[in-house]
Protein backbone atom coordinates (compact mmCIF):
# COMPACT_ATOMS: atom_id res chain seq x y z
CA UNK A 1 0.00 0.00 0.00
CA UNK A 2 1.24 3.49 -0.88
CA UNK A 3 1.49 6.01 1.88
CA UNK A 4 0.92 9.70 1.35
CA UNK A 5 3.84 10.64 3.55
CA UNK A 6 6.79 12.31 1.94
CA UNK A 7 9.62 9.82 1.53
CA UNK A 8 12.10 10.09 4.37
CA UNK A 9 15.20 11.90 3.21
CA UNK A 10 18.32 9.95 4.00
CA UNK A 11 20.48 12.87 5.08
CA UNK A 12 23.44 10.63 5.80
CA UNK A 13 23.80 9.83 2.12
CA UNK A 14 22.87 13.33 0.92
CA UNK A 15 25.29 15.27 3.13
CA UNK A 16 28.94 14.83 3.97
CA UNK A 17 29.69 14.01 7.64
CA UNK A 18 30.47 17.60 8.60
CA UNK A 19 27.35 18.95 6.90
CA UNK A 20 25.30 16.24 8.57
CA UNK A 21 26.73 17.13 11.98
CA UNK A 22 25.82 20.80 11.58
CA UNK A 23 22.53 20.67 9.70
CA UNK A 24 20.97 17.63 11.36
CA UNK A 25 22.75 17.47 14.75
CA UNK A 26 23.01 21.24 15.35
CA UNK A 27 26.79 21.24 15.37
CA UNK A 28 29.09 24.22 14.94
CA UNK A 29 32.18 24.32 12.77
CA UNK A 30 35.37 25.63 14.33
CA UNK A 31 35.94 29.38 13.90
CA UNK A 32 37.87 30.40 10.80
CA UNK A 33 37.71 26.87 9.33
CA UNK A 34 34.67 27.38 7.11
CA UNK A 35 35.22 27.85 3.43
CA UNK A 36 32.98 30.92 3.17
CA UNK A 37 34.37 32.98 6.07
CA UNK A 38 36.46 35.13 3.75
CA UNK A 39 34.42 34.65 0.60
CA UNK A 40 33.88 38.10 -0.91
CA UNK A 41 32.46 37.03 -4.26
CA UNK A 42 29.03 38.18 -5.40
CA UNK A 43 26.31 35.59 -5.30
CA UNK A 44 23.75 33.78 -3.25
CA UNK A 45 24.12 31.40 -0.34
CA UNK A 46 21.78 28.44 -0.47
CA UNK A 47 20.92 25.79 2.11
CA UNK A 48 23.42 22.92 1.74
CA UNK A 49 20.62 20.51 2.60
CA UNK A 50 17.78 21.50 0.30
CA UNK A 51 19.01 24.36 -1.88
CA UNK A 52 16.64 27.03 -0.55
CA UNK A 53 18.05 30.52 -1.05
CA UNK A 54 18.98 31.96 2.35
CA UNK A 55 21.51 34.79 2.22
CA UNK A 56 23.00 37.18 -0.33
CA UNK A 57 26.59 38.38 -0.59
CA UNK A 58 25.08 41.90 -0.44
CA UNK A 59 24.37 41.45 3.28
CA UNK A 60 27.58 39.57 4.16
CA UNK A 61 30.01 41.44 6.39
CA UNK A 62 33.25 40.70 8.17
CA UNK A 63 32.35 40.30 11.83
CA UNK A 64 35.78 39.00 12.82
CA UNK A 65 34.15 36.08 14.62
CA UNK A 66 35.31 33.39 12.23
CA UNK A 67 31.95 32.50 10.76
CA UNK A 68 30.17 33.90 7.71
CA UNK A 69 28.04 36.78 9.01
CA UNK A 70 25.05 38.43 7.41
CA UNK A 71 22.96 41.46 8.39
CA UNK A 72 19.73 40.04 6.94
CA UNK A 73 18.35 36.91 5.31
CA UNK A 74 17.22 37.14 1.68
CA UNK A 75 13.70 36.62 2.93
CA UNK A 76 12.48 35.84 6.42
CA UNK A 77 10.08 33.38 4.76
CA UNK A 78 12.93 30.92 4.19
CA UNK A 79 14.19 30.79 7.76
CA UNK A 80 12.83 29.92 11.18
CA UNK A 81 14.09 31.41 14.44
CA UNK A 82 13.98 29.32 17.60
CA UNK A 83 14.89 30.00 21.20
CA UNK A 84 17.96 27.97 22.10
CA UNK A 85 18.86 27.66 25.77
CA UNK A 86 21.50 24.97 25.41
CA UNK A 87 25.09 25.38 26.61
CA UNK A 88 23.97 27.59 29.52
CA UNK A 89 23.13 30.61 27.42
CA UNK A 90 20.19 32.09 25.63
CA UNK A 91 20.62 32.30 21.91
CA UNK A 92 18.36 32.44 18.87
CA UNK A 93 18.86 29.52 16.56
CA UNK A 94 18.48 29.97 12.79
CA UNK A 95 16.97 27.08 10.84
CA UNK A 96 16.12 26.49 7.21
CA UNK A 97 12.34 26.60 7.00
CA UNK A 98 12.19 24.14 4.14
CA UNK A 99 14.26 21.25 5.53
CA UNK A 100 14.60 22.27 9.22
CA UNK A 101 18.37 22.15 8.90
CA UNK A 102 20.33 23.98 11.59
CA UNK A 103 22.21 26.93 10.07
CA UNK A 104 23.62 28.88 13.00
CA UNK A 105 22.50 31.62 15.36
CA UNK A 106 21.47 35.27 15.15
CA UNK A 107 22.84 37.86 17.58
CA UNK A 108 21.93 41.49 18.27
CA UNK A 109 25.49 42.81 18.08
CA UNK A 110 25.79 43.35 14.35
CA UNK A 111 27.75 46.42 13.30
CA UNK A 112 25.32 46.88 10.42
CA UNK A 113 22.12 48.80 9.70
CA UNK A 114 19.95 45.96 11.00
CA UNK A 115 21.94 45.51 14.21
CA UNK A 116 21.68 41.78 13.57
CA UNK A 117 24.46 39.32 13.01
CA UNK A 118 23.37 36.09 11.40
CA UNK A 119 26.28 33.84 12.33
CA UNK A 120 26.03 30.93 9.91
CA UNK A 121 28.15 27.82 9.48
CA UNK A 122 29.86 27.57 6.08
CA UNK A 123 29.02 23.88 6.03
CA UNK A 124 25.31 24.68 6.13
CA UNK A 125 25.64 26.81 3.01
CA UNK A 126 26.24 26.29 -0.66
CA UNK A 127 27.47 29.37 -2.51
CA UNK A 128 26.49 30.08 -6.07
CA UNK A 129 28.44 32.85 -7.71
CA UNK A 130 26.52 35.37 -9.76
CA UNK A 131 27.61 35.24 -13.34
ZN1 LIG B 1 17.21 23.61 3.78
Local confidence pLDDT in tens for the 131 residues of the chain: 555 666 788 999 999 999 999 999 999 999 999 999 999 999 999 999 999 999 999 999 999 999 999 999 999 999 999 999 998 999 999 999 999 999 999 999 988 999 999 999 999 999 999 97
The pLDDT value given to residue 131? 78
For residue 90, count CB atoms less than 10 angstroms from its CB and return exposed for 0-12, middle for 13-18, buried for 19 or more: exposed
The pLDDT value given to residue 52? 98
Q: How many Å lie between the centroid of ligand 1 and the Cα of residue 89? A: 25
Determine if residue 126 is left, alpha or beta; phi over 0 gives left, psi from -120 to 50 gives alpha, anything else beta. beta
The DSSP secondary-structure symbol of 129 reads E
CB 6 within 8 A of CB 90: no
Q: How many Å lie between the centroid of ligand 1 and the Cα of residue 66? A: 22
Q: How many Å lie between the centroid of ligand 1 and the Cα of residue 86? A: 22
Distance CA 67, CA 79 (A): 18
Q: Is 9 helix (H, G, I), strand (E, B) or coil?
A: coil
CB 29 within 8 A of CB 121: yes
The pLDDT value given to residue 111? 87
Q: How many Å lie between the centroid of ligand 1 and the Cα of residue 96? A: 5
Q: Which residues pair with 129 in a beta bridge?
A: 43
C-alpha dist (Å) from residue 12 to 37, 64, 97: 25, 32, 19
The pLDDT value given to residue 16? 96
Catalytic residues: 119
Domain 11-129 belongs to what topology? 2.170.150
Q: Where are the domains of the chain?
A: 11-129
Neighbouring residues of the ion ligand 1, judged by CB less than 5 Å: 47, 49-50, 52, 96, 98-99, 101
Q: How many Å lie between the centroid of ligand 1 and the Cα of residue 11? A: 11
The pLDDT value given to residue 3? 54
> Residue 124's CB: how many other CB atoms inside 10 A?
30
Amino acid sequence: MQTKDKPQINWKTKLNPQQYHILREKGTEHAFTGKYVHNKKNGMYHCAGCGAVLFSSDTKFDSGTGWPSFSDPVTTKNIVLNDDDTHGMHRIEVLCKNCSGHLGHVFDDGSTHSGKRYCINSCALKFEEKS
